[in-house]
Structure 1
Amino acid sequence: MSRIPTPAYVYDLAEVRRNHSALRDALPADSGVYYSLKANAHPSLLRVLREQGASPEVCSSGELEAALVAGWPATEVLYSGPGKRDEEIGQALRAGVRQFSVDSPHAIEQMDRIAGRHGIRVQCLLRINDDQPVPGQGLAMTGVASQFGADTRWVLRETARFADRPHAEIIGLHLYMGTNLAETEDLLGQFERSLRTAKSLRAALTEHGVRLRVFDLGGGFGAPFASAGERIDFSALRPGLTALLDEELPGRNDDGTRIVFEAGRYLVGTAGVLLTSVLDVKQSHGKDVVVLESGINHLGGMPGLRRLPPLNPRLALDATDVAAPPPAVLDALVTGPLCTPLDTWSRAAKLPELRPGDVLAVPNVGAYGLSASLVAFLGHPLPIEAVVDGDDPDRAPEVTRIHLTRTTVTADTGPTLGVK
């Protein structure tokens, strides 16, 4: 990695393969795995995940395009999201997508109307917002007022409104309850709740002619973010989860029922590191201050969503060693180069003695890194993205850079932001 200029996100494809293998080993053998592209849609990571057998879950036209370019057939795509424009649904249908997640009767009717216009029938997973959250969630997705899904009690009260339409068939349930769970018991509790809810909804919808045969239990598989840590061991999950499925959905293998899960950060989080150089080191009012070439424009532009803990970057000697930093001697305010006091990573980072030109590394940022940051704010250059493969150490890093350019503003088109 010493040949890679900074700032740079470096992704290791070997770690992605290991993460996928670990997740597969933790889940029932007959289940499927969707990769949520919002975690990181870098084309090299997508290609590896496709080769490993994951399917794509997308939430936008841009993510759909990335999935198709990576080689997934459109028939493998699950198109989700709490609100969809008619234009993007039509675009997805023309591309060959036939499976969507829907959140309300209006969304079912919208799918029916647009699919009918195209002369096709689509399959829908009805997303459910269960009546109560489960413990351990990093970010609650259910059990609270939310744009995601239809409340369980609403579906049970007005079941007919959630039944099939002529061009939109309800084939399953989408039960994503929370994110970033780090304990096996919390995951089991979430899946148990989801399965019991699915069982009651299946009985109610069956009375209205709905045949549910796909159960997307979501995920929420946790991973360390921007801090030291290894892939979380969920190997104890499989036996407990298999027993739950046998209890709540007996005979599922005989009637063609399909169980799927979703993962994002677990598959790619530990595969990425951000390398960034020190621009200045000084003291201010008795406090050590370290100014980096990366700030909230390169990592952590979403702290307002309570997603970002204080970052404590570690020194990377020769831009290669992120495992064993030197002893800490600084208690530093760590900032980026942006012209705003909001551009702060940490107010008390324990760091070794630093000089301008030293390289710091932020580990475990393969998920929700560059694409989740304030990339256009103040117009600084973006980091490069470099791909390496620990399974092939002789392979030269694959380096790409995203360029943001503003297009000409006209009265007809309005302001747009182009991505090259």
Structure 2
Amino acid sequence: MIGHTELAKRFGTPSYVYDLDRVRAARRDLLAALPDEVHLFYAAKANPHPDVLREMRGDGGRGCRAEISSVGELAAVLTAGFSGADILYTGPGKTAEELTEALAKGVRLFSVESPGDLRRVGEAAGRLGVTADCLLRVNSVSASTATSIRMTGVPSQFGFDSETLADLREKVSDVPGTTIAGLHFFPLSNAADEASLIAEFRHTIEKAAELQEQLGIRFRFVDIGGGFSAPYAAGGERPVYGELREALAATLDTHFPRWRDGGPRIALESGRYLVGDSGTLLVGVVNIKESRGRRFVILDGGINTFGGMSGLGRILPVSVLPNESAPGAGDPAMLVGPLCTPGDVLGRDVVLADPAPGDLLTIPNAGAYGVTASLLMFLGRPAPTEVVVRGPDVVSASRIDHIRTYAYGQAPR
């Protein structure tokens, strides 16, 4: 791959570099860890760059389908070559206008979070004279493990509470414009290890079979979620799962004996695992400042460039180029961006060796939740450049621009 220093000189900083070879490797590794009959959805919110989306779709081999939560993502995945039949539309705030547009573009599979959400999907489908297949998203009351980032078991805008779903059978089974195709789960994110991931999937599959009996509906489709782990803005390698394939198949054989023949079709989903290690963020040092005993390294990109996890107080390890100082050499510093807010912090007590204006810092494993998860418009600074590479070649270099569209009145002259 082209060196980061060369790319920074050519395209400037801040810049993201996405390596499509690593995207392909992650897709290949995850699909290999799943039974061949299983569908895999790529969560477009992780990185909706057009080149990344096209790589996820695949080129004739086994590829991903698309999971989206907005008409913006709908447009992006359709442009990348996905069809409406490839798409699962999710999210708790789907408006009538969004649903109409999605259905008109051929989307037929929707995850619904509540009776009201289900009715809105049905009303939109009815206006167009079509029927939407709906997956009831489940907020399970219990889980197999307390590790990782829990997504269920608490009051939430996401999903039907599992303990009340059977009581809603009549409300959900006969909504005009819809059919209940199955269930959608997403119980955790970033599983601590493969054993935890397998245990959670086993628990989810057992719960899906239990709910099928309680509801009296033969499911055609069950999405059991994700939870695949990958380092985020830190050193390390994403895991390759060696036990998952057999464990999933055995559990599905027990609870859904006809799953291999599509009774029901089984799906999983992933975002960060598939793109996280493909991306590197390049930022430049603008200034060094001392204040009351603390050193501040001021960068040309902050939470306007990489804001997806900044609110969690993540400390982002970096390496300094071109002198490539060894980690641990030097003194701790605050890494801050260029915005006029004290919240613009990328890292606390990050050890750097004698940083100076003009140095290049790289943040690894930054391919997910980067540009579109950041405060792009704050202070009107330009978006970072996104450079896509494959091997020694630059595939594309682009930047998102913000354009104000007037619904009333005229632009000032």
- 2:187 and 2:29 mapped to 1: Cα distance? 22
Maintained 8 Å contact 2:285/2:356:
yes
How far the C-alpha of 1:301 sits from its partner, in A, is 4.8
Q: 1:219 aligns with which of 201, 226, 229?
A: 226
- Look up the equivalent residue of 2:337 and give its one-letter code: G
Query: Which residue of 173, 188, 212 maps to 1:178?
Result: 188
Q: 1:309 aligns with which of 287, 301, 314?
A: 314
For the pair 1:156 / 2:156, whether they are aligned, the reply is no
1:266 maps to: 273
Match of 1:400 in 2: 398
- Give the drift of 1:133: 3.7
Q: Distance in 2 between matches of 1:200 and 1:160?
A: 17
CA distance in 1, matches of 2:146, 2:172: 30
1:170·1:211 contact (CA, 8 Å) conserved in 2? no
TM-score by length of 1: 0.91
Does 2:26 align with 1:25?
no
- 8 Å CA contact 1:22–1:235 kept in 2: the answer is no
User: What CA distance in whole angstroms lies between the structure 1 residues aligned with 2:398 and 2:191?
Assistant: 32
Matched residue type, 1:88:
E
Q: Report the TM-score when normalising by structure 2.
A: 0.92
The one of 113, 131, 137 equivalent to 1:103 is 113
> What one-letter code is carried by the residue in structure 1 that aligns with 2:260?
N
1:239 corresponds to which of 240, 246, 255: 246
- Determine the structure 2 residue equivalent to 1:118: 128
Change beyond 3 A, Cα 1:91–1:401: same
Q: CA RMSD in A?
A: 2.0
Gaps of 5+ in 1: 416-420
* Aligned positions of 1:367-406 closer than 5 A: 367-390=368-391, 393=392, 395-406=393-404
Deviations 1:244-284 (A, max 9, x none): 11222223224632110000000000000000110012332
Shift of 1:136: 5.1
Q: Which 10-residue stretch deviates more, 126-135 or 295-304?
A: 295-304
Contact kept in structure 2, 1:184 and 1:237, CA below 8 Å: yes
- The answer to whether the 8 Å contact 2:219/2:263 transfers is no
Moved more, 291-300 or 239-248: 239-248
The match for 2:156 is 146
| Residue 229 of structure 1 pairs with residue 236 of structure 2 | yes
- Contact kept, 8 Å, 1:182 with 1:232, in 2: the verdict is no
CA distance in 2, matches of 1:256, 1:194: 17
Deviation at 1:397, TM superposition (A): 4.4
Distance 1:161 1:183, change over 3 A: same
Aligned length: 401
1:82 aligns with 2:71: no
Shift in Å, 1:381? 1.7
Q: Which amino acid in 2 is paired with 1:131? A: V
CA distance in 2, matches of 1:107, 1:154: 16
In 1, distance between residues paired with 2:302 and 2:110?
A: 36
Q: Deviations over 1:174-212 (max 9, x none)?
A: 011111113111111211111111111111222xxx331
What stretches of structure 1 move > 4 A for 4+ residues in a row?
Answer: 324-327
Q: Which of the residues 122, 130, 138 maps onto 2:140?
A: 130
Query: Does the residue aligned with 2:54 lie in a helix, a strand or coil?
Result: helix
Runs of 5+ consecutive residues of structure 2 not aligned to the other structure: none
- Note closer, same or farther for the CA distance 1:90–1:137 as it changes in structure 2 (3 Å cut): farther
